[in-house]
Structure 1
Amino acid sequence: MIFELFYHFIFSFIASCAFGFLCRIPNKTIIAGGIVGGAGWIGYHFLSENGFNVFITSFCCSLILSTLSYTYSYIRKYPSTVYFIPGLVPVVPGITFYEVFKELFIGHTGIAQVTFFNVIASAVALACGIIIGNIIFLILIKPFLKRTKAVLR
C-alpha cells in the first residue's frame, strides 16, 4: 500500500513538474508545483481506491490542490496559479472525455452518457474545491501563517 502510494506520488510529481517546465513557470516554483500535483493525485487515488464516487474524489483533490497552492503562494510570494495549474494536470478528466467520444463513435450511447456525466461532475467538483479551498486558506491557514511569521521575527 505504501509503495503504491509512493509510486503514484512520484509519477504525478514528475507529470506536474514536466507540465510546469513546458509552461515556463519560474524555476524556483517547479518543485513546489510537483509537490502540489503529487499530493492532489494521492488524495484522488486514495479516495477512488476506497470506493468514493468521482465527485467526492475530485472535490477533495481540488481542496488539497487549492489549499496547498494558496499556502505556497503566500509563503513564496508567487501567484497561486503557478502552483495550481501544474498540480491540476494529473487530475483533469481529459482521458475520460476522450472515452466519451470513443463510445459515441462506437455507438454505445448509454455508456457515453454515463461517462459524460462523470466528466461534468468532475469538472464541477474541481471548481467547487478551488473556491472552498480558497475560503479554507483565508479563514484557517493564513491567520496561522501570519502568527507564525510574527513569532519568528
Structure 2
Amino acid sequence: MYLMKMLIASFFASLGFGVMFNIRGSKLILAGIAGSIGGVVYHASLIVGCGELTAMFLGSVALSLYSEIFARICKTPVTTFIICALIPLVPGGGMYRTMLKAIEGDVMQALTIGLDTLTIAGVLALGILVVSTIMKAIFKPERRSVRKHVER
C-alpha cells in the first residue's frame, strides 16, 4: 500500500512539473510515469534495506533508463522526461533544512546537512551520467565524413 501511495504521489508530482514546463499530450503522461518509476524504485530500495544514497542512485538509474528509451521512441530530447522525473527525488527538504540552520546561526549543522544534500544531488547526477554514457555507447550516431562537406 505504501509503494502504491508513493507511485501515485511521484506520478502527480512529475505530471505537475510537466504541465509547468509545457509538455503536452502523451509525452506528459510518459514524463509522469518516469517520475513514478524513479520514486517507486527509490522507496522499494529503502524497504529492502538499501542505504539512502544507494536507493537514490537506483531510482536515478531507473528513471534515466526509462527516459532514454522513451526519448528515442518518441523522438524527443531526453531532458523532456528526466527533468520532470527527477522532481520526486530532489532533496528539497535537505536544502530547506540547510538554509534554516544557516539562518538560525547553527553553522556546523548547516554545513553537515548541506553536504549531505549535495551528496544526494551528486548521486542523482551520477545515475543519470552512467545511463546516458552507456546509452550513447550503445547507440553511437554514424559519423559523417568531414571531407564530404569540405570538398565541393
TM-score range, shorter chain: 0.7 to 0.9
Residue 34 of structure 2 corresponds to residue 41 of structure 1: no
Q: Where in structure 2 are there 5+ consecutive unaligned residues?
A: 141-152
Larger radius of gyration: 2
Cα distance in 2 for partners of 1:14, 1:46 equals 18
Q: CA RMSD in A?
A: 2.0
Tell me the residue number matched to 1:32.
Answer: 30
Matches within 5 A, 1:45-124: 45-124=43-122
Matches within 5 A, 1:124-135: 124-135=122-133
Cα distance in 2 for partners of 1:51, 1:115 equals 22
Tell me the residue number matched to 2:13.
Answer: 15
Supply the AA of the counterpart residue of 2:3.
L
Cα distance in 2 for partners of 1:44, 1:50 equals 10
- Cα shift at 1:138: 4.4
Q: Identify the structure with the greater helix proportion.
A: 1
Q: Percent identity?
A: 29
Cα distance in 1 for partners of 2:89, 2:65 equals 16
The SS at the match of 1:26 is coil
Supply the AA of the counterpart residue of 1:93.
P
The structure with higher relative contact order (CA 8 Å, sep 6+) is 1
**Greater CA drift, 68-77 or 99-108:** 99-108
* Residue 96 to residue 51, structure 1, CA distance change in 2 (3 Å): farther
Q: Where in structure 1 are there 5+ consecutive unaligned residues?
A: 144-153
TM-score scaled by structure 1?
0.81
Alignment deviations for residues 73-95 of structure 1 (CA, whole Å, 9 cap, x no partner): 11121111111111011111122
The number of residues matched between the two structures is 140
Supply the AA of the counterpart residue of 1:82.
T
Tell me the residue number matched to 2:144.
Answer: none
Hey, which bits of structure 1, 4+ residues long, moved more than 4 A?
none
Cα distance in 2 for partners of 1:6, 1:138 equals 33
